[in-house]
């Protein structure tokens, strides 16, 4: 029932964090913003750090390019008091491109992918970060939009190239898949049941799948969308996906499949000016922003 959403800096907006404690029925602004007014709160995660405390993390996105390293901010009281800023990496202007640019398995394992093609890793609650440097070569320095892990060892990240990179050792070593999907992945997700199964939703409107981690040609599951903004899978239900599709200036659509992407149904969405991310908590509980 506890949710947080980050805001951008377009127009009179600012990188506020909004919080809900009633499954999204009502929202309030947290007492403090995690980033400067020229920046965007684009991605985040949360995890317990002890039995009484939940840590919230917000990552800076691409806005007015700051003369600073990639940074995140964390709060252990849901933003009631000031957020604590943490530098990630040493490249000035580096940023995260989407809401799927961070993935966590808990305070001992969190990864971030960036617009410079890097992957960073933290094993101490997002306080310190290690550049998993092989990702930069594997991605050919193309922007990575999405990162996802099957378990603590096997993970993927995808983006401009198009390219999908993978690791089988927690990110110590990353390499590019032999085959890439047809378009630039906006979302990559490890669907299971095998750690070889990966799905990609791309900016060209295609949903593509590989069942051998890209060793052979990806199979197009569906190719009738316009511009996929975000795709996510239902935990524990590896054939149920939801995606947000760009509707060319009108309200964006939400689509759902229950058969692994072979057939899709469109949901009526409230009037909106664009959807950036879908978050699937179960086959029947989905949020879109």
24 and 152 within one domain: no
Give the domain range for residue 136: 132-289
Q: Is residue 73 part of a domain?
A: yes
Are residue 175 and residue 281 in the same domain, yes or no? Answer: yes
Q: Are residues 184 and 82 in the same domain?
A: no
Overall number of domains in the chain:
2
Q: Is the pLDDT at 123 greater than 80, yes or no?
A: yes
Query: What would the mean pLDDT of 181-201 be, rounded to a whole number?
Result: 93
**Of 67, 95, 123, which one is at a domain's C-terminal end?**
95
165 & 240 share domain? yes
CATH code of residue 165: 2.130.10.10
Considering the domain architecture, whether residues 251 and 138 belong to the same structural domain is answered as yes
Residues 168 and 273 in one domain: yes
Same domain (yes/no): 78, 140? no
Cβ–Cβ < 8 Å for 73, 35? yes
Ordered strands of the 207-210 beta sheet: 185-190, 198-202, 207-210, 219-222
Per DSSP bridges, beta strands 278-282 and 285-288 are antiparallel
252-268 residue pLDDT tens: 889 999 998 889 999 98
Predicted local confidence at residue 1, as pLDDT: 47
Residue 289, in any domain of the structure: yes
**In a domain? residue 125:** no
Calculate what percentage of the chain has a pLDDT beyond 90: 59
Based on the number of CB atoms within 10 Å of its own CB, is 79 exposed (0-12), middle (13-18) or buried (19 or more)? Answer: buried
Q: Which pLDDT score, from 0 to 100, does residue 154 have?
A: 98
């Amino acid at each position: 029932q506890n949710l947080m959403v980050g805001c951008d800096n377009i127009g009179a907006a600012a990188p506020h964090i909004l919080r809900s404690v009633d499954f999204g029925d009502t929202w309030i602004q947290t007492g403090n913003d995690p980033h400067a007014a020229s920046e965007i709160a684009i991605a985040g995660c949360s995890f317990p750090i002890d039995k009484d405390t939940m840590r919230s993390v917000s990552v800076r996105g691409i806005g007015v390019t700051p003369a600073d390293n990639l940074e995140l901010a964390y709060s252990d009281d849901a933003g009631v008091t000031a957020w604590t800023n943490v530098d990630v990496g040493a490249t000035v202007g580096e940023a995260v491109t989407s809401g799927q640019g961070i993935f966590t398995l808990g305070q001992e394992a969190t990864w971030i992918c960036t617009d410079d093609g890097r992957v960073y890793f933290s094993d101490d609650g997002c306080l310190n970060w290690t550049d998993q440097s092989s990702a930069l070569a594997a991605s050919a320095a193309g922007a990575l939009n999405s990162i996802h892990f099957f378990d603590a060892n096997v993970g993927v990240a995808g983006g401009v190239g198009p390219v999908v990179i993978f690791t089988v050792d927690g990110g110590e070593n990353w390499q590019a898949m032999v085959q890439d999907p047809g378009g630039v992945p906006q979302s990559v997700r490890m669907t299971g049941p095998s750690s070889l199964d990966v799905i990609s939703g791309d900016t060209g409107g295609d949903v593509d799948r590989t069942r051998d981690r890209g060793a052979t040609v990806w199979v197009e599951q569906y190719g009738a969308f316009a511009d996929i903004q975000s795709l996510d899978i239902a935990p524990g239900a590896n054939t149920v996906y939801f995606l947000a599709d760009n509707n060319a200036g009108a309200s964006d659509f939400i689509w759902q499949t229950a058969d692994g992407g072979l057939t899709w149904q469109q949901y009526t969405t409230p009037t909106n000016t664009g959807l950036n991310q879908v978050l699937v908590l179960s086959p029947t509980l989905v949020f879109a922003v």
